[in-house]
């Protein structure tokens, strides 16, 4: 059964100045695993709220997955409510560290927010995929999904009571993770450096092709330096002009 999944790690944009320029790497890995294991599912990744709002209004997703950090909590709640207003049958999933560690207060946190159907506790690289699978097996019924046993999660049963399932052990087989760049470009690893023109900063491998909006990444007040392991010349642009990606056509971001 085909399904559409929107994954969002949102940040505020004040007149073109981003409140947070961190790469949404966490949700990128969720998408990578989903794309690898469930290719029939149409997944899209979002970092910018205006693009997510346009997408939800134009084509409401079957599943909306939102990150929850201290800097974007209310923004994520806004989109959870928006998705439910447009389509009450959209499954809204939230996850992230911005939640208390106390089990009782975790339940109250979800109970007080009826727009959230399920909250993931801990890592979700593979659990996000499993939740979508269970949702599809339930005939895209949120109520039927609520009567299943979903580990490491707080969710609503079919009677609307809030249930907390215990955390499962962490997934230790790192090689099971799917890295988008490695998938699309065998033998090529893209490395991106973000910062204020400090060449001594470490370079981190990031699956950036799933993050770049419209084959271009713009970050106000930041300079990006792109290098390929093949030894190509870095692409460097003055502050605020961004860098044009040289590989692939990524989804909306």
pLDDT tens-digit readout, 57-77: 999 999 999 999 998 999 999
pLDDT score, position 191: 37
**Which residue has better confidence, 163 or 222?**
163
Mean pLDDT of 1-15: 86
Residue 48 bridge partners (DSSP): 11
**Which residue has better confidence, 60 or 248?**
60
Q: For residue range 90-141, list pLDDT tens digits in order.
A: 999 999 999 999 999 999 999 999 999 999 998 888 999 999 999 999 999 9
> Domain residue spans in the chain?
4-164, 179-244
The mean pLDDT of the chain is 74
pTM: 0.70
pLDDT score, position 213: 38
pLDDT score, position 238: 36
pLDDT score, position 26: 85
pLDDT score, position 248: 33
Most confident of 59-73, 185-199, 203-217: 59-73
**Could you tell me the fold of the domain covering 4-164?**
Rossmann fold (3.40.50)
pLDDT score, position 176: 57
């Amino acid at each position: 059964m085909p399904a559409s999944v929107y994954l969002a790690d949102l940040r505020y944009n004040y007149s073109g100045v981003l409140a947070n320029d961190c790469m949404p790497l966490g949700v990128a890995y969720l998408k990578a695993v989903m794309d690898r294991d469930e290719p029939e599912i149409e997944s899209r990744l979002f970092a910018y709220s205006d693009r997510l709002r346009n997408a939800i209004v134009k084509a409401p997703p079957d599943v909306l997955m939102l990150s929850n950090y201290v800097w974007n909590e209310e923004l994520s709640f806004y989109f959870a409510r928006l998705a439910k207003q447009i389509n009450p049958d959209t499954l809204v999933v939230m996850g992230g560290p911005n939640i208390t560690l106390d089990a009782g207060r975790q339940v109250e946190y979800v109970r007080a927010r009826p727009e959230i159907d399920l909250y993931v506790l801990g890592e979700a690289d593979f659990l996000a995929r499993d939740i979508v699978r269970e949702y599809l097996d339930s005939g895209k019924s949120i109520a039927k999904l609520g009567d299943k046993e979903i580990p490491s999660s707080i969710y609503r049963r079919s009677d609307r009571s809030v249930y907390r399932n215990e955390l499962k052990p962490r997934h230790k087989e790192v090689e099971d993770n799917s890295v988008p760049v490695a998938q699309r470009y065998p033998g090529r690893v893209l490395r991106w450096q973000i910062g204020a023109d400090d060449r001594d900063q470490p370079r981190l491998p990031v699956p950036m092709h799933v993050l770049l909006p419209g084959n271009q990444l713009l970050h106000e007040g930041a300079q990006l330096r792109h290098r390929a392991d093949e030894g190509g010349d870095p692409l460097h642009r003055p502050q605020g002009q961004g860098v044009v990606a040289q590989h692939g056509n990524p989804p909306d971001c």
